[in-house]
């Protein structure tokens, strides 16, 4: 299809309470720059039920316009209803570019939408720019488990779509809302939703592991040795107000639940500080955390690959280092 | 139930190294394997067959002739029949073009097999490209409901019950067949082939489908030319500058030094 406008859209995914997920707001940051270069508006798109909070958040983080669809059928994410709504919006308004957070829902919805619109989608991007030659978005993403980066263009189809990793971009500063807010009337028949949530199985009652939104993560790997071995990891996390992460080896051993796993088959994170304890730094683990601002590694083996990405590396035994570090933090914080 | 599992042969990315001199990917000598996530999809199909022996499992791959090795392995593990889509014209396809070719191949396989598939199983993503797009793109072309990030699937009378991995826990999802499911890593390991199946797989005929057998494919939507996304360049990610190494006499001293450095850098 043809783009009707030069506008750049950011899909702002909502949480169950109607507020925005971090990544949608983060994307307004590179979105601003790309929109200015494309010479169009920066438009935030919100779909959900009772989404006033997300609409306001998008408006005060720099969007020129917020388009939103609100209805009971969008309370829970479903591929069928969300893709139908987005397809309707795209057909109606014709953006030239759309950024979608590479969350599980974003990566469920993005390819389905690209197939419906028969346009190109670039997955899980970590870099965004405008290609000087073509004026298209230059999407940069890791492949081969992070060993290789590829820059991809979608020259002939519109809109050009991409999912972008959470935690890569910083949220823009909040300011006065100046966005034009547009409610779009769109409803989707309940019987059109062909999947049904039969049961929600929360991992541990009440414990939400928000790795993607965490500022600090303390993660343990096979080096912690046992489920009990996670105690010093948890204590340091508590002292720092951090979230606990884990490598797949620790998860596979059954020492901690999968919701803590960081990496290619776990969460992709981008905290301000990532402390890897007893983690060797396999490429699949690095794929999920190398975008962290500051990386600290604690490992017995001076040759462990994790030291290759670490800003600060302690060669030592985590069972000595972690308690000492926790004590030091508690002491200084009073 | 009839299940089609889409399988891609990929280089084992855990074995890939970067040539320190040319700064390029060394692919020579890297073994080719079944994409691990496709192995999980195959295991899920095999588990349905364990419950209901009438289940037929067909595997389909698109790729060069050598991808037959991956299909033979799938036959040895659990599949009843394998098809390879292979044609120069299909080379260089991006995910959208791949899903379009697989879509056409699926209807051809259904015609050849004289059946309709109740479910299409894919891996969540292929570990070479890591895109996780082919499954949902294919589901859209088939106009089937999709469930992504599946851990387990059980057949409940025309409805599949899918244990789906969520952000803060798991979901049990009911989805009517026909449907498309993409699988991620479950808590159990996939089964190994038996000697008997291995021997049979070695002799099995793998049917090849080329553009001649798939006349409905519009060349404008296949291969490099038919792909809306194009790779402009690839590069090895810049290595980070070497970090500060702390190695004091005792763990305690190292911890204190780290604390001082992190405070000075205003990280904590
Ligand atoms: C398709 C695929 C997907 C994958 N996805 C993921 C993923 O999402 N996330 C992930 O993490 N992995 C993933 N992996 C697995 C990955 O390849 C590694 O096997 C895994 O990350 C290793 O975990 P680890 O570093 O904890 O264990 P190991 O590699 O065993 O490392 C343990 C480290 O602890 C150190 N150590 C031991 N004792 C101590 C001590 N007392 N003090 C300090 N250091 C100590 C050792 O020196 C060693 O370096 C995936 C693999 C594949 C094939
Ligand atoms: N060439 C192919 N042949 C068969 N199946 C494929 C092919 N490419 C992708 N798939 C399927 O689509 C899934 C997702 O692949 P991708 O979108 O490339 O990450 C894989 O796990 C496979 O099940």
Same structural domain, B135 and B211: yes
Same structural domain, B216 and B243: no
- In order, the DSSP letters of A134-189 are T-SEEEEEEEGGGTEEEEEEE-SSSSEEEEE-TTSSPPPPP-----EEEE------
Phi, psi (deg, nearest 5) at residue B62: -115, 130
Same structural domain, B192 and B248: no
* pLDDT > 90? residue B120: yes
Cβ–Cβ below 8 Å for A315 and B232: no
**A17 Cβ under 8 Å from any chain B Cβ:** no
Same structural domain, B80 and B156: yes
Least confident of A9-13, A64-68, A77-81, A167-171: A167-171
Mean pLDDT, residues B166-189 taken together: 91
Segment holding B82, helix H or strand E: strand B81-85
Cβ–Cβ below 8 Å for A144 and B263: no
Retrieve residue B105's tokens. Answer: 């191949």
Residue B14 lies in a domain: yes
How much of chain A, in percent, has pLDDT values that exceed 70? 98
**Ligand 1 center to A296 CA (angstroms):** 15
What distance in Å separates residue A49's CA from the closest CA in chain B?
19
Least confident of A168-177, A219-228, B136-145: A168-177
- What ipTM was assigned to the predicted interfaces of this complex? 0.87
**For the CA atoms of chain A, what is the radius of gyration?**
21
Which ligand is in closest contact with the Cα of B8? 2
* pLDDT > 80? residue B241: no
pLDDT at A172: 94
* pLDDT > 70? residue A334: no
Residue B173 lies in a domain: yes
Burial class (CB in 10 A: 0-12, 13-18, 19+), A195: buried
Same structural domain, B24 and B97: yes
pLDDT at A204: 52
pLDDT at A66: 98
The pTM of this model reads: 0.86
- Residue A309's closest chain B neighbor by CA? B240
Measuring CA to CA, which residue among B192, B78, B184 is closest to residue B130? B184
Same structural domain, B55 and B81: yes
Phi-psi region of A43 (alpha: psi -120 to 50; beta: other; left: phi over 0): beta
Q: Which residue has the tokens 């779909």?
A: A47
Same structural domain, B159 and B244: no
Range(s) of the domain holding residue B246: 237-268
Residue A122: strand pairing partners:
A162
pLDDT at A251: 92
- In order, the DSSP letters of A9-78 are EEEE-B-TTSPBPHHHHHHHHHHHHHHHHHTS-EEEEEEESS-HHHHHHHHTTT-SEEEEEE-GGGSS--
Same structural domain, B79 and B180: yes
- Residue B171's closest chain A neighbor by CA? A200
Residues of chain A with C-beta less than 8 angstroms from the C-beta of B134: 111
3-state secondary structure of A316: coil
Mean pLDDT, residues A164-184 taken together: 92
Mean pLDDT, residues A16-41 taken together: 95
pLDDT at A133: 95
Query: What is the tens place of the pLDDT at every residue in A268-295?
Result: 888 999 999 999 999 889 988 988 999 9
pLDDT at B36: 95
Least confident of A45-49, A256-260, B108-112: A256-260
Same structural domain, B125 and B217: yes
Report the alpha-carbon distance of residue A107 to residue A37 in Å, rounded. Answer: 26
Mean pLDDT, residues A301-310 taken together: 93
pLDDT at B166: 82
Least confident of B53-62, B202-211, B227-236: B227-236
Q: Which ligand 2 atom sits closest to the C-alpha of B137?
A: 17
* pLDDT > 90? residue B82: yes
**A206 Cβ under 8 Å from any chain B Cβ:** no
| Chain A 229-288, residues with CB within 8 Å of chain B CB atoms | 240, 258-259, 264-265, 272-273, 282-284, 287
Residue B249 lies in a domain: yes
**Ligand 1 center to A282 CA (angstroms):** 6
Mean pLDDT, residues A324-331 taken together: 95
pLDDT at A205: 41
Same structural domain, B199 and B80: yes
What distance in Å separates residue B20's CA from the closest CA in chain A?
13
Q: How many domains does one find in chain B?
A: 2
| Chain B 28-67, residues with CB within 8 Å of chain A CB atoms | none
Of A83, A148, A317, Cβ closest to residue B251? A317
- Residue A208 — pLDDT band, cuts 50, 70, 90? low
Residue B23 lies in a domain: yes
**B149 Cβ under 8 Å from any chain A Cβ:** yes
Same structural domain, B215 and B244: no
Residue B261 lies in a domain: yes
Residue B164 lies in a domain: yes
Mean pLDDT, residues A314-318 taken together: 96
Residue B175: strand pairing partners:
A195, B160
Which strand ranges, in their side-by-side order, compose the sheet holding A97-101?
A121-125, A160-164, A97-101, A8-12, A42-48, A65-70, A180-183
Q: Which ligand 1 atom sits closest to the C-alpha of A247?
A: 11
Rounded to the nearest 5 degrees, what angle is found at the Cα of B77, between the Cα atoms of B73 and B80? 90
Residue B231 lies in a domain: no
Cα atoms found within 13 Å of the Cα of residue B248, Cβ hemisphere only: 11
Choose one of B71, B123, B140, B180 to mutate for the ligand 2 pocket test, by most ligand atoms within 8 angstroms of C-beta.
Answer: B123
Cβ–Cβ below 8 Å for B132 and A107: yes
pLDDT at B42: 98
SS3 content of chain B, % helix, strand, coil (to 5): 35, 30, 40
Residue B176 lies in a domain: yes
CATH number of the structural domain spanning residue B162 = 3.40.50.620
Residues of chain A with C-beta less than 8 angstroms from the C-beta of B25: 144, 147-148
Please state, as a whole number, how many other Cβ atoms lie within 10 Å of the Cβ of residue A53: 16
Report the alpha-carbon distance of residue B156 to residue B163 in Å, rounded. Answer: 13
**For the CA atoms of chain B, what is the radius of gyration?**
22
C-alpha A102, offset from chain centre: 5
- Closest residue by Cα to atom 4, ligand 2, is B61
Same structural domain, B145 and B37: yes
- Residue from B160, B168, B247 to probe the interface with A (highest A Cβ count within 10 Å): B168
**Ligand 1 center to A275 CA (angstroms):** 14
pLDDT at A207: 57
**B172 Cβ under 8 Å from any chain A Cβ:** yes
Q: Does A79 sit in the ligand 1 pocket, CB within 6 Å?
A: no
């Amino acid at each position: 299809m043809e783009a009707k406008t030069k506008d750049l859209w950011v899909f702002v995914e909502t949480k169950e309470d109607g507020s925005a997920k971090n990544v949608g707001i983060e994307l307004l940051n590179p979105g601003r720059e790309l929109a200015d270069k494309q010479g169009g508006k920066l438009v935030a798109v919100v779909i959900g039920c009772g989404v006033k909070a997300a609409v306001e958040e998008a408006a005060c983080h720099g969007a020129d316009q917020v388009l939103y669809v609100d209805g009971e059928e969008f309370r829970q994410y479903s591929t069928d209803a969300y893709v139908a709504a987005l397809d309707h919006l795209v057909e109606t308004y014709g953006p030239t570019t759309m950024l979608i957070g590479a969350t599980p829902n974003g990566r469920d919805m993005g390819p389905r939408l690209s197939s419906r619109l028969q346009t190109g989608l670039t997955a899980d991007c970590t870099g965004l720019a405008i290609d000087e030659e073509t004026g298209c978005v230059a999407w940069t993403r890791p492949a081969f488990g992070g060993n290789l980066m590829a820059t991809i263009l979608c020259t002939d189809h519109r809109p050009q779509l991409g999912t972008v990793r959470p935690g890569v971009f910083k949220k823009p500063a909040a300011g006065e809302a100046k966005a034009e807010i547009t409610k779009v009337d769109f409803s989707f028949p309940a019987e059109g939703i062909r999947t049904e949530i039969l049961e929600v199985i929360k991992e541990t009652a009440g414990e939400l592991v928000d790795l993607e939104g965490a500022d600090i993560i303390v993660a343990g790997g096979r080096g912690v040795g046992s489920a009990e071995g996670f105690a010093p990891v948890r204590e340091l996390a508590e002292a720092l107000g951090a979230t606990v992460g884990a490598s797949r080896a620790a998860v596979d051993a059954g020492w901690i639940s999968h919701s803590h796993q960081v990496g290619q088959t776990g969460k992709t994170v981008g905290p301000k500080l990532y402390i890897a304890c007893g983690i060797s730094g396999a490429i699949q683990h690095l794929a999920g955390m190398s975008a962290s601002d500051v990386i600290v590694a604690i490992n017995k083996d001076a040759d462990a690959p994790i030291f290759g990405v670490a800003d600060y590396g302690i060669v030592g035994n985590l069972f000595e280092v972690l308690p000492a570090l926790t004590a030091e933090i508690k002491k200084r914080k009073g | 139930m009839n299940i089609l599992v889409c399988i891609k042969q990929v280089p084992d990315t855990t074995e890939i190294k970067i040539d320190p001199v040319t700064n390029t990917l060394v692919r020579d000598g890297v073994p080719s394997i079944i994409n691990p996530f496709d192995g999980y999809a195959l295991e899920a199909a095999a588990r349905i067959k364990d419950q209901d022996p009438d289940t037929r499992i067909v595997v389909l791959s698109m790729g060069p002739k050598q991808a037959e090795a991956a299909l033979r392995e799938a036959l040895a593990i659990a599949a009843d029949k394998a098809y390879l889509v292979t044609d120069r014209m299909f080379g260089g396809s991006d995910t959208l073009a791949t899903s379009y070719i697989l879509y056409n191949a699926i209807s051809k396989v259904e015609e050849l097999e004289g059946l309709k598939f109740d479910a299409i199983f894919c891996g969540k993503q292929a570990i070479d490209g890591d895109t996780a797009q082919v499954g949902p793109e294919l589901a859209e072309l088939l106009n089937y409901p999709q469930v992504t990030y599946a851990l387990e699937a059980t057949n409940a009378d025309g409805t599949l019950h899918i244990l789906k991995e969520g952000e803060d826990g798991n979901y049990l999802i009911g989805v009517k067949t026909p449907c498309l499911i993409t699988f991620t890593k479950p808590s159990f390991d996939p089964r190994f082939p038996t000697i008997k199946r291995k021997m049979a797989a070695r002799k099995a005929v793998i049917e090849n489908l080329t553009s001649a057998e798939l006349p409905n494919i519009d060349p404008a939507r296949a291969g490099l030319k038919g792909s809306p996304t194009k790779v402009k360049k690839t590069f090895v990610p810049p290595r980070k500058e070497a970090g500060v190494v702390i190695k004091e006499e005792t763990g305690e001293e190292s911890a204190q030094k780290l604390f001082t450095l992190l405070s000075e850098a205003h990280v904590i």
